[in-house]
Amino acid sequence: MTSGGDSPPRTEPRGRLVLHLQELDDRIAQLRTEISELEAALAGDPELESLRAAAQAAEAERQAAEEKSRAVERELTGVRQRARTLDRHLYDGSVRNPQDLLGLQHDLASLRPHLDELEGRLLEWMEATESAEAAVAAARAAVTAREAERGSQEAPRRERLEVARRELDEVLALRATAATAAGPADLRIYERVASRRRPAVVHLEGDSCGGCHLPLGIREANQVRAGDGLVQCSNCDRVVAR
Asked if 216 and 210 count as a contact pair (C-beta separation under 8 A), the reply is: no
Per-residue pLDDT of the chain (242 residues; tens, 9 = 90+): 655 444 445 568 999 999 999 999 999 999 999 999 999 989 988 999 999 999 999 999 999 999 999 999 999 998 888 888 877 777 776 766 777 767 777 877 888 888 889 999 999 999 999 999 999 999 999 999 999 999 898 999 999 999 999 999 999 999 999 999 999 999 999 999 999 999 999 999 999 999 999 999 999 999 999 988 899 999 999 999 98
Distances (CA, A) of 176 to 17, 180, 224, 238: 12, 6, 25, 22
Backbone angles phi, psi at 22, to 5 degrees: -65, -40
Report the interhelical angle of 14-43 vs 98-182 (nearest 10°).
160
In the prediction, which pLDDT does 2 show? 57
In the prediction, which pLDDT does 101 show? 67
In the prediction, which pLDDT does 97 show? 73
b (16+ CB within 10 A) / e for 40-75: eeeeebeeeeebbebbeebbebbeebbebbeebeee
d(CA 201, CA 190): 8
In the prediction, which pLDDT does 111 show? 86
In the prediction, which pLDDT does 29 show? 98
To the question of domain 43-161 being in CATH 3.40.50, the answer is no
In the prediction, which pLDDT does 87 show? 74
Peptide bond into 199 cis (omega under 30): yes
In the prediction, which pLDDT does 166 show? 98
d(CA 32, CA 35): 5
CA angle (191, 192, 193) in 5-degree steps: 90
d(CA 174, CA 20): 10
In the prediction, which pLDDT does 1 show? 60
Taking the domains of the chain in order of start, what are their residue ranges? 2-40+180-241, 43-161
d(CA 155, CA 159): 6
d(CA 108, CA 112): 7
